[in-house]
Structure 1
């Protein structure tokens, strides 16, 4: 998908089943009907939780209906989503565009909202495509997107004399200097997914976006020299990371960036944005992930899209669809971004006059991309992402030298999972 077209023309899965009580709780409460709509939220961090609540408050004021929000830990929600959807899910729930939506639509765990999508305005054809299942029907209401890049503090780069890296050699040299200065590259993967962003970027910079798509679809071998090359390059960066990545959450890593304990990090824009105090957010800056192969340059940008889905057989379908209509409006996006200015509105009708310098720079980055990816765990089967890739990348972080053993293990499991389609 071309993000340039998206912007111009408007622009986990079935992992280890745990915490059944959490899953049951997601469907607790009144069944809806009438003026009550239930909503499952993965926005457990304070900033997005507050921003979403303002959106729901605005809807309640407008509609005179009640939105009963059940908020669960973000990672737990993602890891248990399959069980949640097959149990007693809420009427509406937060989720992701693209493959992660299509996977559950194909399993008939979502409700088709094509009837109300016909009335939506402000979404480009590319956004509609990202909201459409393999059956050609729409299931998803996009709210915002955000790019992944190399984030840092402007003042700290100035203080240390650091310069953004345009290519891989410069990136390694920069990381080496940071480690020597005592402020290494921030890194975390206790949550299981943050490291995926670095893998994706190295893969797309080295092998290209089309290879990324094919690899995520199970069509390319993980034992290929191309994939081994990704891990070999990543291994060059490992010595310059801060220690203890597997015991560090993304929140802790972002807070370390704010405290100048580390100098830069490959993050999605909300990660530092939501952990920096409001007074310091203007000090956040980024540069695109550096070029590795001139053939692919910096063409691809990782820019996930978040939004809402309607569960299968909602208890209050009319109310749920009415809420979805509101969530598709510029007003909903404006209310959200006023409280959480770390994302970019999807609806081209949203007022961008108050965008920060960082938001404007993010729009430029994504609009200039030739291809857009949705993040590893969103671009592949959720069971493959959660049961294979999370432990695989954590294994690599612990021992980056056994690349052959790693890719052989991934390939063996991949064949088994994708053969079950």
Structure 2
């Protein structure tokens, strides 16, 4: 998409779908209208605390490099406080309601931020957006609070897929599948070689990884609009259409790593790299925990199409920053935001990380590897983009999914009661 602006615009059009609903092809150019031209970043005096969930080695190194470069420009400085991702997730409400909260946070846009914004906890950064040049209106919409205010600065996005080691597939004499039948055949072949075909990593504090399977099966069978309505409480988890998506999942269950619900995704990454599992459905963030010398050996394939009549959607989550409305360093925070929104900053982050994220600044370059270009194209070719279960719903709804999906993996014959219990739990969240 760096070599084809139209493809970038198509993605950015799609990126807004979680908040805006589908945008027709006739209007996607309009989704690229933006604000004033970028000017030079001028830091104000003072320090900014950045509460970061980027705790994997490469991502941690990358954001620290960003803070160092920001401070080297003179004026304001930034200090990064890294917290384990799952701890960050559970503590975020406490951070925001503390008497002296951190100034700014790494996180993601969506319904979660809108909820915090309605409580008056987030800083309005609309004036920062006025300096952000030709950022897409789609990213602007995704970064809003639903009430006309901008509360988020998007800096990167990424894709999900079935990741595997090319050398292992070559050693095993197998190729990526192009449809569900071929996918199951691949799994059978790997199982016959004594390899657990599908890794998971839904144990420990990362049970949410199982939601990727739910998301993809739902958008492949019922489509992205139904998926969004379901996560917004406009459909039911015990609907027959939801029950239907577990049929192909049940076909794949015999091929899951038996330890998949006992180990966290970081350990599932290690098992994959060691060749003890064949593939893992995951986002590119997993590469931040992979050794640098393994990156060139990684590849992925798209979640197989199950119904060609359903418009293709892909998971393309966006990441970035938001700030506390209680920060005493408003000017400094906004200068930090102006900096991280620049092409310079985003390219620096990519250079110091695993390089598997895509920049949101339309002038920034990605790392240009075949893997990244393949991921970029998959997102560009998608008719619609979803974020991820909790991003399209809320963090409060994620535990209901965790309980239901882990239970299904372990006891698939209890599906009816699982879905009934899920609907009951979800209803309580929606009514709270």
Q: TM-score if structure 2 supplies the norm length?
A: 0.87
Quote how far apart the aligned CAs of 1:127 are: 1.0
Taking a change above 3 Å as real, the CA distance of residues 235 and 89 of structure 1, as seen in their structure-2 partners, is farther
User: Do the aligned partners of 1:40 and 1:89 also contact (CA within 8 Å) in 2?
Assistant: no
2:144 corresponds in structure 1 to 132
1:327 aligns with 2:340: yes
1:241 corresponds in structure 2 to 256
CA RMSD of aligned residues (A): 1.9
User: Counterparts of 1:8 and 1:89 in 2: how far apart (Å)?
Assistant: 32
Among candidates 214, 223, 228, match of residue 208 of structure 1: 223
User: Counterparts of 1:136 and 1:317 in 2: how far apart (Å)?
Assistant: 20
User: Counterparts of 2:60 and 2:263 in 1: how far apart (Å)?
Assistant: 22
User: Counterparts of 2:14 and 2:249 in 1: how far apart (Å)?
Assistant: 37
1:350 aligns with 2:361: no
User: Do the aligned partners of 2:49 and 2:103 also contact (CA within 8 Å) in 1?
Assistant: yes
Quote how far apart the aligned CAs of 1:94 are: 0.6
1:21 corresponds in structure 2 to none
Aligned length: 394
2:329 corresponds in structure 1 to 316
User: Do the aligned partners of 2:95 and 2:102 also contact (CA within 8 Å) in 1?
Assistant: no
Q: Deviations over 1:287-338 (max 9, x none)?
A: 11001112115x1010100000011211211111111110111111011000
Q: Deviations over 1:247-302 (max 9, x none)?
A: 2111111111111111111010121x2233212211111111001112115x1010
Quote how far apart the aligned CAs of 1:161 are: 2.1
2:303 corresponds in structure 1 to 289
Among candidates 163, 180, 184, match of residue 168 of structure 1: 180
Mapping 1:34-183, distance limit 5 Å: 34-87=45-98, 88-183=100-195
1:402 aligns with 2:399: no
1:280 corresponds in structure 2 to 294
In structure 1, stretches of 5+ residues that fail to align are 12-32
User: Counterparts of 2:267 and 2:303 in 1: how far apart (Å)?
Assistant: 22
Quote how far apart the aligned CAs of 1:102 are: 2.0
Which consecutive aligned stretches of 4+ in structure 1 deviate over 4 angstroms post-superposition? 6-11
User: Do the aligned partners of 1:93 and 1:309 also contact (CA within 8 Å) in 2?
Assistant: yes
Quote how far apart the aligned CAs of 1:115 are: 1.3
User: Counterparts of 1:34 and 1:172 in 2: how far apart (Å)?
Assistant: 59
Quote how far apart the aligned CAs of 1:351 are: 2.5
1:30 corresponds in structure 2 to none
Q: Deviations over 1:38-80 (max 9, x none)?
A: 1111111111000110011110001332212221110111122
Give SS of 1:196's match.
Answer: helix
User: Counterparts of 2:131 and 2:267 in 1: how far apart (Å)?
Assistant: 42
Give SS of 2:320's match.
Answer: strand
Quote how far apart the aligned CAs of 1:355 are: 1.7
Q: TM-score if structure 1 supplies the norm length?
A: 0.89
Quote how far apart the aligned CAs of 1:187 are: 1.4
Quote how far apart the aligned CAs of 1:8 are: 7.0
Give SS of 2:127's match.
Answer: helix
Taking a change above 3 Å as real, the CA distance of residues 3 and 413 of structure 1, as seen in their structure-2 partners, is farther
Give SS of 2:261's match.
Answer: helix
Mapping 1:354-393, distance limit 5 Å: 354-386=367-399, 388-393=400-405
Taking a change above 3 Å as real, the CA distance of residues 165 and 199 of structure 1, as seen in their structure-2 partners, is same
Taking a change above 3 Å as real, the CA distance of residues 391 and 290 of structure 1, as seen in their structure-2 partners, is same
